[in-house]
Structure 1
Amino acid sequence: MNIGIFIYNEAEVLDFSGPFEVFSTPSRLCDETAPFKVFLISEHNTVVTARAGYKVLPDYSTEEHPPLDVLIISGGVHASEMKNKVVTDWIKGQSHSVKIIATVCTGIFFLAQAVQSLSCKVTTHWEDIPDLRKMFSRLTVVDSVRWVDEGNIVSSGGISAGIDMSLYLVSRLHSEDLAAKTAHQMEFAWTRNT
């Protein structure tokens, strides 16, 4: 399965690096062919400067990347990027073709902006919940959970919650056993929703 993670300037580092690690680790653990191919996507295939000056070279641009099974939209400083019609149009287009769109932290703002008809349960970083409710009243914003699964839309709280959500996605897309082995390999205490 192709897992594309969308990044942009001022993206939160762990919002994309955490899921990247989760989806790349199973290739070291499986006897079979690697179940996931994960890569970074940005608007342009040029260096992206994430939070705190962390520089990353994405694998693909939004114009040229392999077909995706799962799109993960990372959070970060999103206000100006949300107004980028090229990005929101691309996200909207992906929403019609991917099996799952997952968001970490404020990544849900991108999805809600791009897909105006989106009306489901979601979550985000606790600090951004009031703004999400105010800006997108059609969403049912849930707090005090690590992630929310609404079928083809899965959203998580901030930063480390994105790792928890990604491990959950591994369990959903492959197996609980592989997700547990991945968490163990990463020495990560996987927090599941209760």
Structure 2
Amino acid sequence: MRNKKNVRAFFLVPPEVQLLDITGPAHLFYEAKTYGANIETHYLSLDLNNEVISSAGISLGRLEPYSNFELAENDILFVPGLESHLFFAIDFMKDQQPFFTWLQYQVRNNAKICSVCTGAYLLAFAGLLNGKHCTTHWKYFEDFQRRFPEAKLLSDRLLVHDGNLYSSAGVSSGIDLALYILEELYDAVFAAKVAKEVVIYLRRTENDPQLSMFLQYRNHMETRIHQVQEQLTQNLSKKQNIEDLAESVHMSPRNLTRLFKKTTGISIGQYLQKLRVELALKLLSQGSKVHTVANACGLKSSNQLRALIKKHTSLLPSQL
């Protein structure tokens, strides 16, 4: 662990905060402390109240007013998401002008400001994202771009880092952002230890999309197709044929092929290839051997893996 300096981590707790947005990063910093990081934590409120009710109805207390603190270069502030009716309300945003002014001052002090999910709205209302690259939850892209045209919104990005401003896509991506910050502060080995402690086996990075293939093509209500998709996802290392898949959902191969394409917009074969490519690229980025990755993806050889990846992407990993 290379950084021995004292670090202060601040977690804003706005009204109707999204729980995982705040508790995910906060817990990782807690784990970092147990591994020897010199971290001091504070939980901040937007007003004089020392208690806030989250969007899930859980009460969070012992909060300190944000105005009690002045941040510096070794300080980090996480700004989590909150319910949309609040940041869409004109009165609420007007009431937060003192906070926005405070936030601008902390940025000038070179503190790291990290938004999670719709927390990006608070940064944007403060004018911090003008001319800056950023991201937010995919569901709010259109609205965010319309409200803040000067922000350089990057779609399909899990994390974005621009100067001392950081933003992440939503909910669980706050955990990825916290690991990213811990790696910056300390080193990759330290961040990996923290990830292992909380049983995170696949660390996501700036280059990962918000919605992986394992989540795409699932926005439908056809139960049988969900079952087939789950079976494909959970058995990528095994050979799977259309007959067995069809039998598992009590359909004929022909009807399954037709219904899958109608429901998802792509064929079963195309879906399976996309799953394999994403898994392969993830494993290769983590240093796995080419033949090991081929086996994990249910492919017969390293050459077959190379051909598949080359078909779907123009950027071949260096291992290939």
1:39 maps to 2:75: no
User: 2:54 — aligned with what?
Assistant: 50
Q: Which has the higher helix share?
A: 2
Q: CA 1:173–1:45 in 2, change beyond 3 Å: closer, same or farther?
A: farther
Shift of 1:22: 1.2
**Per the alignment, in what secondary structure is the counterpart of residue 124 of structure 2?**
helix
User: 2:147 — aligned with what?
Assistant: 135
CA–CA separation in structure 1 for the residues paired with 2:129 and 2:180: 26
Equivalences, count:
191
Letter in 1 for 2:38: P
Q: Deviations over 1:59-90 (max 9, x none)?
A: 31112136451111111124144332222222
1:27 maps to 2:39: no
Aligned-residue sequence identity (percent) comes to: 26
Letter in 1 for 2:27: E
Normalized against structure 2, the TM-score is what? 0.56
Letter in 1 for 2:206: N
Q: Deviations over 1:11-67 (max 9, x none)?
A: 11111111101111111112xxx3322221112241101112111014311121364
Unmatched runs of 5 consecutive residues or more in structure 1: none
**Which structure is higher in RCO with an 8 Å CA cutoff and minimum separation 6?**
1
Q: Structure 1 segments of 4 or more deviating over 6 A?
A: none
Unmatched runs of 5 consecutive residues or more in structure 2: 1-6, 208-320
Greater CA deviation, 7-16 or 36-45?
Answer: 36-45
Aligned pairs for 1:103-182 (under 5 A) are 103-115=115-127, 118-182=130-194
Greater CA deviation, 109-118 or 14-23?
Answer: 109-118
Question: C-alpha root-mean-square deviation of aligned residues, in Å?
Answer: 1.7
Normalized against structure 1, the TM-score is what? 0.91
Q: CA 1:130–1:117 in 2, change beyond 3 Å: closer, same or farther?
A: closer
1:63 maps to 2:76: no
Q: Which has the higher strand share?
A: 1
